[in-house]
Structure 1
Amino acid sequence: MIDIAPDLAATLDTVRAVAGQMEDDWWVFGSAGMAMVGVRGLSPPDLDLIVSERDARRLIMLWKGELEENRPSALFRSRLFAKARVAPLPIEIMAHLEVQTGEGWQVVQPRTRHAHPWRDGVIYTPTAAEQAEICRLFGRPKDLARIGALEALA
């Protein structure tokens, strides 16, 4: 049984409620995705959602998301990035997410899509093993610290 904090559970309910309206593959990742695969003791400050540009536009309109244009950080950028405040946790909508690596910008596009039964629907995440790879790619101390827990679940 996974241990999901109440605010995260309510936010997952919000995502699940619109999942049938998405036309392309999508994933919950970051801390919320790690909690979904069983990493214990996480209290995500938000829910990160990787979607297609088409679905990002739909979600931004549906949730009245705040589109943040031209705000790439030194480490991350997305073609579309918005925050939706329609649940207890902000939902960060990302289309075409990229991370800066030693070889330049690299697209973060999960290859795996693990289905987690959630209430009367499904929440998708990358597998624990792929989430560990993503943490390694991101390379931040908080990401590197979670690799062991993810690999233990893989």
Structure 2
Amino acid sequence: MSHVPPALFVALTELVPELYVHCAEPWCVIGSAGARMLGAEVDVADVDVLVSRADAATLIARWADRSDTIHAPADGDRFRSHFARFRFPGMPVEVMGGLELHDDAGWQPVSPGKLVLVGLQGLAVPVPALDEQIRIFESFGRDKDRVRAAALRALRQPASVLPIVSSS
């Protein structure tokens, strides 16, 4: 894995245990933090966490004293969720409960697909698998998401150019 920036490390080491304790349903880290956890060389300004709507409500109540009520999420015409932004050591955390993306077919749930666990200082951080993250970023369609998808594609192992033969 590429080097995890100190601010991301600090945020995740406080955040991840809280999510394991307070989320009743599966959750994962998406966005630039998720891409960085797989080794993509991308800048990370915050930690995006995909949770269920019920778990978002739980976290919003639990972390009320950390709430950033001034921040408004961008692209409200393309994304909707039970959203909240919180102040954590290191960097902000954005919780998206039941995230949906508006496309030609209307509002569609954003599914993380297959998850993998990335180890960080004894913590298992769930993130979408490489191809799932690429799919998610491409579906978002913004310039910054295309850059992140390209950084993830660069991590794919090249196909072997040598034929594999058996000597049996």
Give TM-score, length-normalised by structure 2: 0.81
1:143 matched residue in structure 2? 145
Residues 77-101 of structure 1: per-residue CA shift (max 9 Å, x gap): 11x1111112221110111101111
2:61 matched residue in structure 1? 61
Distance 1:99 1:112 in 2: 19
State the aligned residue count.
151
Distance 2:61 2:89 in 1: 15
What is the percentage of aligned positions where both structures have the same residue? 34
2:25 matched residue in structure 1? 24
Distance 2:103 2:131 in 1: 20
Indicate yes or no: 2:51 matched with 1:35. Answer: no
Superposition RMSD on alpha carbons, in Å?
Answer: 2.0
1:46 matched residue in structure 2? 46
Residues 19-49 of structure 1: per-residue CA shift (max 9 Å, x gap): 3312211010000000001101x23111100
2:166 matched residue in structure 1? none
Query: Tell me, which stretches of 5 or more residues in structure 1 are unaligned?
Result: none
The alpha-carbon deviation at position 67 of structure 1 amounts to: 6.8
Distance 1:51 1:133 in 2: 18
Give TM-score, length-normalised by structure 1: 0.88
Query: Tell me, which stretches of 5 or more residues in structure 2 are unaligned?
Result: 157-168
- Segments of 4+ moved more than 6 angstroms: none
Greater C-alpha Rg? 2
Partner of 1:34: helix, strand, or coil? helix
Contact 1:32 1:47 in 2 (8 A): yes
2:9 matched residue in structure 1? 9
Distance 1:20 1:147 in 2: 28
